[in-house]
Structure 1
């Protein structure tokens, strides 16, 4: 890499680290990105000059709303969110629970939309949250819609992350879970991503027939019980099919 390329890469790494840890101090940032404190400080000052970061009175750094504005434009780069929203609203009204819409980004999904339930006790993930494929209803549904080669590559990537004691981390167990999803048409994930939260999910296909994202119906385990898994799962799968058709998926 050239010096200029290295500077750009460093700036992006610092920017992402601020977003993940904000508010965050210089020393913690330097450890997180593996760069000298002097380099990170120069990068932060440059990002502040162009309006992407700011420091508070305690010298802890945060992203500015400029980062939000640019990131928000990326939420629907592939038209997934815009096509899905009307159907997601119907799904939220039908189930009464929180609806999540996630899109792929490397070996994870990123939450691009959330429709909240009116219940005070509810599932909550912030927009932009990165979701492990093995640990979530959306991720498992997404993987189940992938080819076996894609699943094999994912499982060969190292240890599967555990979010809770109920997260599926054994590759053989995950393959069994994916086979069940393919037969059923939707995923069921009790407390795999967050303690006390259960979810059902379904994959959304794009015009090329490959998964373009996934949606889920999530709620606390006091309401999301085995008695409602099938009803909510069918509703999620039907919503995913409708959105897939909107995206031009074959069949």
Structure 2
């Protein structure tokens, strides 16, 4: 890792900007990235030529068609996504809320599939978005089912930074919530990644019984009242179990 090509690294820094911004002008790329203009000019030219960036009539850049091709291949090769998608669609039809599928990537979670809602107010989630394992129900349910050793190491080495009004930043409180989540088979978050939002999530396991993903129902707080919360919990747990079984998990073990 010490021999990273600097040009490649800087090019990835530029491309990573588009995980947050849908479109950027040349000057905005320079400003946000902090990379010198001459370097950005050369990189953008190469990335545009290869189809990784494209420029519209206003002069703003966005991710190019090459990413659709690569993204399609990655999506096809993610068996969990293929298995989960029809079950997610059924769940979304039943509850009418946003449905998210997240997998672990180191100390973060990454969204690999989402089904949006037709509600007027929507949450900001997108395929490829990352979140820390400690924040948000869908991320935290993965953390809850890691080994005790992994959880202890994570808590010892991770700074719990506030991301929204309800982000849990107390490690003792987080540890108790993780224990409760493992005991109950689900977890709930309130305004942890975005204010005024609620999410309920359940774990997905592989044939070895290892947690490999999280499945969540998410919406604005108003839609998660005491009277309907139990049904959302049961539905997301049932859907996650079905996905796990299709991945070879034996629920009786």
TM-score range, shorter chain: 0.7 to 0.9
The match for 1:106 is 106
Report the alpha carbon displacement of residue 79 of structure 1 after superposing the two structures with TM.
0.5
- Pick which of 117-126 and 137-146 moved more: 117-126
The match for 2:229 is 229
Question: Contact 1:144 / 1:179 at 8 angstroms: preserved in 2?
Answer: yes
- Pick which of 119-128 and 60-69 moved more: 119-128
1:90 aligns with 2:90: yes
Report the alpha carbon displacement of residue 222 of structure 1 after superposing the two structures with TM.
1.5
Q: Residue 224 and residue 41 in structure 1: after superposition, are their counterparts in 2 closer, same or farther (change >3 A)?
A: same
Matches within 5 A, 1:25-174: 25-30=25-30, 32-56=32-56, 59-174=59-174
1:196 aligns with 2:209: no
Give distance in 1, aligned partners of 2:9 and 2:78: 25
Question: Contact 1:188 / 1:229 at 8 angstroms: preserved in 2?
Answer: no
Poorly superposed stretches of 4+, deviation over 6 Å: none
TM-score, length of structure 2 as denominator length? 0.87
Give distance in 1, aligned partners of 2:3 and 2:123: 45
Report the alpha carbon displacement of residue 32 of structure 1 after superposing the two structures with TM.
4.6
Report the alpha carbon displacement of residue 173 of structure 1 after superposing the two structures with TM.
1.3
The DSSP-based 3-state class of the residue aligned with 1:15 is helix
Report the alpha carbon displacement of residue 57 of structure 1 after superposing the two structures with TM.
5.2
The count of residues paired between Structure 1 and Structure 2 equals 250
Deviation per CA, 1:138-163, whole angstroms, max 9, x where unpaired? 01111111112222232233322322
